[in-house]
Structure 1
Amino acid sequence: MKRPEPKIVHKPVLVNQVLEYLDVKPGGIYIDATFGSGGHTRAILDSAPDVRVIAFDWSEQALDTFGTTLQDEYGSRLELVWGNFAHLYKLVKKLNVENFDGILADFGTSQVQIKTQAGFSFSHDTHLDMRMSPAHQKLTAYELVNKAKPDKLVDIFKNLGEEKRARSIVNAIVTERQKRPISTTKQLADLIVKVVPKGELRIHPATKVFQALRIFVNKELENIQSFLSAATSLLAPEGRLVCISFHSLEDRIVKNFFRQQELMQTLKIVTPQVVIADEKELITNPSARSAKLRAAQKISAS
């Protein structure tokens, strides 16, 4: 079977900072919990001799498109696992590896997913799906938008999208769905533009609603909580946990978790202040503007 050609590549963010805070060591074993198109994985493998990476992604498309190419290049140093990082502990136990020298997670949605999977982008008119891994999930954004109670949608848009006009947008959605189903990204985006004129914002008016739907459909915040607990338990003494977030809700979860674990003397925070991209990176990779990196180290048992 012919291997799919990677036409769209997601450029990884904060690569130098990831390597610095992972503190990659020769012969170490590392997890990239969010493989994507493999940029961070490649950087880790190239950073020190004999390093091994076990890379996870719950998008089978990402692994098929980009993972096989890297496996051809790095051989047994790279192992690919299809699965959600929320189930990291269960997935790792099948691999017979007790602990890891470092674990990385980039919680951002890759450009590959946005541009190739249904429902993620209001710039491409596709079915309102938004599932990162249809094989693992049932609920779609279509079902949510067309069937959820108005108060539920208001709550989602306000809390997960921080959308100030949530009630007005939901009123418009309810009126429209009584006439016909809202089935495509363009349909929903056009509806939102009528409520929130483009001139009022620096971003597209539909951005926050689409973010909120994506987070809810994919249970992104719950998955991060599960991942952080599992990752901490899987780290070797003095192993590093590095997390990259792209909006305040994700970053708050990571920051609070690290603080709690530091109080419990499980982890030691090694980034007193959040780490962001420098101007040089922003010139070549504008998507790094929202990236925030935090890292912590497993405290050795005395």
Structure 2
Amino acid sequence: MRRHIPVLMNEVVAALQPESPRNSRLIDGTVGGGGHSRALLGAGVDAVLAIDRDARAIETAGQALAAYGDSVNFHHGSYIDMQAAARALGWQTVDSILLDLGLSSYQLDDPARGFSFRFDAPLDMRFDRDEAGDTAGDLVNGLAADELAEIFFRYGEERHSRRIAREIVRQRPITTTRMLAEAVADAVPAQSKRRSRVHPATKVFQALRIAVNKELDAVERVIPIAIDLLRPGGRLAVITFHSLEDRLVKQAFKRLATSVVAPPGMASIEERRASIRLVNRKPISPDQAEESANPRSRSAKLRVVERLQAP
């Protein structure tokens, strides 16, 4: 199993490094292996609230950050719960928040998790296997063809979504990652497979993972929660790995960075003051050296915003 390499490490540290390390607080909402948190603690962050839905990530990060002792507090759960977790520590505001929305290498490389078609494994794909909820297998074998097609199109932008869904229904029951990958490959036209450099099941696996974990809903909900937790001048950094996530984050940031003033006589328009400023108007991507060293970083995009003074 390959070691997980945090993406855009230098760029994240540059964006979130505290001006003054005294009592500086970071929420790492997706701590994973703890790489970003370790780097930021080394750069002067005084205390970290490390959150992850994956129990194994909490265990791995605990080992990676053990040297920092009581400076790191762990919370097993969703980043949606960051406000309650912060309040439990007595934190009313924080200096920085990081959300790295990608899968870690140990999740992808663990056959039992069912995230990858490189292994033959049960169709699970849940980030938190202790949490009740549908697995990918439940969706694949329980939904109607039109419902599956909607998931593949909406969350995977899969152009052959209907063909794939019909073939899956025809071949059910489908219980393993290999069976699903083969069903998708059977459905995709040969010409499309020849033109593409990626496995035909890539978008379907992405779509199912997003649906199982309700990822886009969580991202949309957490942004205003995170902004509300930041002190004035505090920063939120979000790393995305596919266009759906990045588009959602971009639109949310743009909305919160824009003031709305009602014209005279238009009282029905709700006025709103901008609560953030965009630190980088265009997303930051890995340079060629990082992409060569860590091919999984290729699709990563980093967006950073800063909390403005409260009105």
TM-score (ref. length: structure 1): 0.93
1:118 to 106, 113, 119: 113
Give the ranges of 4+ consecutive aligned residues of structure 1 lying more than 3 Å apart after TM superposition.
none
Partner AA of 2:304 in structure 1: A
In structure 1, what is the Cα distance between the partners aligned to 2:101 and 2:46? 23
1:46 to 42, 47, 50: 42
| 1:35 and 2:31 correspond | yes
Displacement of 1:8: 4.2
Displacement of 1:88: 1.8
Q: For residues 132-178 of structure 1, what are the alpha-carbon distances to aligned partners after superposition, in whole Å with 9 as ceiling and x for unaligned?
A: 1021231111110001011111111011001111111111111111x
Q: How many residues were matched structurally?
A: 291
CA gap of 1:8–1:284, structure 2 versus 1, over 3 A, is closer
In structure 2, what is the Cα distance between the partners aligned to 1:56 and 1:273? 27
Unpaired runs of 5+ residues, structure 1, are 1-6
Displacement of 1:18: 0.5
2:158 to 155, 163, 179: 163
Partner AA of 2:233 in structure 1: E
Match of 2:123 in 1: 128
In structure 1, what is the Cα distance between the partners aligned to 2:18 and 2:291? 24
Q: For residues 52-109 of structure 1, what are the alpha-carbon distances to aligned partners after superposition, in whole Å with 9 as ceiling and x for unaligned?
A: 1111011111111x22223421111111111111222222222211111000000011
Match of 2:264 in 1: none
Partner AA of 1:255 in structure 2: K
Displacement of 1:209: 0.1
In structure 2, what is the Cα distance between the partners aligned to 1:164 and 1:271? 32
Partner secondary structure for residue 290 of structure 1: coil
2:177 to 164, 170, 185: 185
In structure 2, what is the Cα distance between the partners aligned to 1:107 and 1:160? 15
1:212 to 175, 191, 207: 207
Match of 2:83 in 1: 89
Contact kept? 1:71, 1:79, Cα under 8 Å: no
Partner AA of 1:53 in structure 2: V
Contact kept? 2:17, 2:43, Cα under 8 Å: no
1:107 to 101, 120, 128: 101
In structure 2, what is the Cα distance between the partners aligned to 1:200 and 1:193? 14
1:225 to 191, 195, 220: 220
Displacement of 1:218: 0.2
Match of 2:275 in 1: 266
In structure 2, what is the Cα distance between the partners aligned to 1:23 and 1:74? 17
In structure 1, what is the Cα distance between the partners aligned to 2:132 and 2:214? 10
Match of 1:3 in 2: none
RMSD: 1.4
In structure 2, what is the Cα distance between the partners aligned to 1:51 and 1:70? 16
Contact kept? 1:158, 1:164, Cα under 8 Å: yes
Displacement of 1:130: 0.7
2:14 to 13, 16, 20: 20
Unpaired runs of 5+ residues, structure 2, are 259-272
In structure 1, what is the Cα distance between the partners aligned to 2:280 and 2:131? 34
Contact kept? 2:16, 2:96, Cα under 8 Å: yes
Contact kept? 2:151, 2:208, Cα under 8 Å: yes
| 1:61 and 2:56 correspond | yes
Moved more, 288-297 or 276-285: 276-285
Contact kept? 1:87, 1:226, Cα under 8 Å: no
In structure 2, what is the Cα distance between the partners aligned to 1:208 and 1:24? 38
Match of 1:75 in 2: 69
Partner AA of 1:228 in structure 2: I
Contact kept? 1:83, 1:91, Cα under 8 Å: no
**Percent of pairs identical after alignment?**
40
| 1:275 and 2:284 correspond | yes
2:5 to 11, 34, 46: 11
The answer to which structure, 1 or 2, has the higher relative contact order (CA under 8 A, 6+ apart) is 1
CA gap of 1:301–1:138, structure 2 versus 1, over 3 A, is closer
Partner AA of 1:42 in structure 2: R
In structure 2, what is the Cα distance between the partners aligned to 1:58 and 1:73? 23
Partner AA of 1:185 in structure 2: T
CA gap of 1:287–1:22, structure 2 versus 1, over 3 A, is same
In structure 2, what is the Cα distance between the partners aligned to 1:258 and 1:229? 9
Contact kept? 1:101, 1:236, Cα under 8 Å: yes
